[in-house]
Structure 1
Amino acid sequence: MAMLSTSLSGPKSATSYCAPEFSGLRRLCPNSNNVNSNFHSQAFLRFCSPRKPLKSVVAMAGTGTFFVGGNWKCNGTRESIAKLVSDLNSAKLESDVDVVVAPPFVYIDQVKSSLTGRIEIAAQNSWVSKGGAFTGEISVEQLKDTGCKWVILGHSERRHVIGEENQFIGKKAAYALGQGLGVIACIGELLEEREAGKTFDVCYQQLKAFADAVPSWDNIVIAYEPVWAIGTGVVATPVQAQEVHVAVRDWLKTNVSAEVASKTRIIYGGSVNGGNCAELAKQEDIDGFLVGGASLKGPEFATIVNSVTTKKVAA
């Protein structure tokens, strides 16, 4: 069986059947001395094994509907957002995709009142408990009152700029889920963590914080966003992204349940655009995208949503 190289820089060994050293990931080699080598080897083998195509289906390892979210971050004015909403309303979007956009808080009402019902509204953050004397925060109850269906939690900018810790983010997710909001749960490693070989460790620690807190995984979408790829223009290759998505799905299977691993959608984020989305979407464990800058351009965002067509296979 041919093994696919995921190396960022190093040459492939001529004497080894395992993957070459990959900056930021443990060596996925059956004879590794790493205590977790068997698990990661199995995950890599699953990824490399050919998948028998099925007629008229979307080829995904999970069973959920393709999911694309647009995170507008701290961008926009009334005028620019009105133009963006107009572009989204006129876009032709594939029907078998769940589409969500996350405007800045102050424009949620504007977007909700003018955006087609085909696209749901998400918030970019929420408070950890019921509202009250928490200056500057937005409660889950307030978000629901404005029509939000989802909230993004654990985004790298909240973790590494604001300083939110894993356990705090897990508690936020638990509260939001308990109040009926879906959660887009972000995980991902810094560049120095990848270079130190800690990619899996970091992602697993972040996943565990969610798993320790949440009452159910029914309304959670996991967004793997390598921090070194967010807003930098440097996107993970399809193989690099798929490799981590495989590991995340197998972590869920081992630590939560096989059912959760199958149902939970794992989406990729990090400089996704209209030019690279198709190749990324072809990977069977990539169940969609969380899009930053490109989501501010209606036609390009539509292209990303419609990349689901690259997953469709026929016998």
Structure 2
Amino acid sequence: MDRKPVVGISLKLYLNTVEKTRAYVQQLKELCQDISNVEIFIFPSLGTISGVAELLENTDIGYGAQNIAPVANGAFTGEYSIESLLECGGSLVELGHAERRANFNETDAMINQKVRLVLENGMTPVLCIGESIEQKERISDHLRQQLLSNLAAIDSVELEKVIIAYEPIWSIGQPEAASPKYVHTIHKMIRQLLNELYGQKVSEKVRIIYGGSVSKENAGAIIANENVDGVFVGRFGHDPVNFKAIIEEVAKDKLISES
């Protein structure tokens, strides 16, 4: 099935000033201006989105928010509204990250509410799922439960637009990523679960990317599998040159696999 490879990065709260973020994005834009066979996106710190939007206008690099409120408008003090992201021209939202689930007590029901809101507004949810060390023994059941609850009440046409970011919790922020063999095994499992739960068309359309200590050194091995459609990068992409190198690894592998 033809799925365009995708590489994204979340800057979390590492770049929080407009000046520093614009410098990063400007360099990235210049480095990646000739890359067309990989979809690229960036999740900047929430306070810098408008500055990023100005720089990325009329480019092929997508951008969005690391989180949104579960409703577009209302009494949700301190939250970020999807209305603000729409006004900035953003097109993606990161949802369900392990840090949001653990540190901010986000439930599967709330994540599902946010996924549906994003889709209703014509944007792409990047849904993070993954297991802790303790959950590895029953990983299939755990991932099934996450998919069922986080994607509840969404029709198949909309489901095809979701990007699944598989991020084993135990690999986030670690010196090394999960082994390529493990990543390939779990991505195949997720693909099979999507087929079982939502049908073959959805499973063939949905892009599944890997996140968790992705670097330019390991990206090539991680991506070398038909069920891995890209990577979701963290701190190893804070240098735009390194991030471009990761993108090139993905582009190279997928170009070879299509030949």
- Which residue, 55, 61, 65 being the options, matches 2:4? 65
SS in 2 for 1:198: helix
Mapping 1:149-298, distance limit 5 Å: 149-194=91-136, 197-215=137-155, 216-298=158-240
CA deviation after TM superposition for structure 1 residue 82, in Å = 2.5
What letter corresponds to residue 64 of structure 2 in structure 1? A
CA deviation after TM superposition for structure 1 residue 87, in Å = 1.6
What letter corresponds to residue 108 of structure 1 in structure 2? I
Mapping 1:120-159, distance limit 5 Å: 120-159=62-101
Q: Is the 8 A contact 1:189 1:227 kept in 2?
A: yes
Give aligned-pair identity as a percent: 32
SS in 2 for 1:129: coil
TM-score (norm 1): 0.77
Partner of 2:37: 96
Distance of 2:82 and 2:257 partners within structure 1: 40
> Aligned pair 1:87/2:87, yes or no?
no
Distance of 2:128 and 2:113 partners within structure 1: 14
Partner of 1:25: none
Partner of 2:252: 309
Mapping 1:23-38, distance limit 5 Å: none
Distance of 1:166 and 1:257 partners within structure 2: 22
CA deviation after TM superposition for structure 1 residue 231, in Å = 1.0
Distance of 2:120 and 2:105 partners within structure 1: 24
TM-score (norm 2): 0.93
Partner of 1:113: 54
Distance of 1:184 and 1:72 partners within structure 2: 15
What letter corresponds to residue 65 of structure 1 in structure 2? K
CA deviation after TM superposition for structure 1 residue 211, in Å = 2.8
CA deviation after TM superposition for structure 1 residue 261, in Å = 0.4
Distance of 2:2 and 2:97 partners within structure 1: 25
Distance of 2:50 and 2:257 partners within structure 1: 39
Structure with bigger helix share is: 2
Distance of 2:43 and 2:257 partners within structure 1: 31
Distance of 2:109 and 2:154 partners within structure 1: 11
What letter corresponds to residue 160 of structure 1 in structure 2? A
Q: Is the 8 A contact 2:4 2:38 kept in 1?
A: yes
Distance of 2:96 and 2:71 partners within structure 1: 16
SS in 2 for 1:186: strand
User: Which structure has more RCO (C-alpha within 8 Å, separation ≥ 6)?
Assistant: 1
SS in 2 for 1:212: coil
> Aligned pair 1:75/2:17, yes or no?
no
Distance of 2:117 and 2:56 partners within structure 1: 27
Cα 1:208–1:296 shift into 2, 3 Å: same
Distance of 1:131 and 1:300 partners within structure 2: 38
CA deviation after TM superposition for structure 1 residue 198, in Å = 1.9
CA deviation after TM superposition for structure 1 residue 227, in Å = 0.5
CA deviation after TM superposition for structure 1 residue 238, in Å = 0.8
Q: Deviations over 1:13-49 (max 9, x none)?
A: xxxxxxxxxxxxxxxxxxxxxxxxxxxxxxxxxxxxx
Distance of 2:252 and 2:122 partners within structure 1: 31
Instruction: In structure 1, list runs of 5 or more residues that go unmatched.
Output: 1-61
Partner of 1:22: none
CA RMSD between the two structures = 1.5
CA deviation after TM superposition for structure 1 residue 314, in Å = 6.7
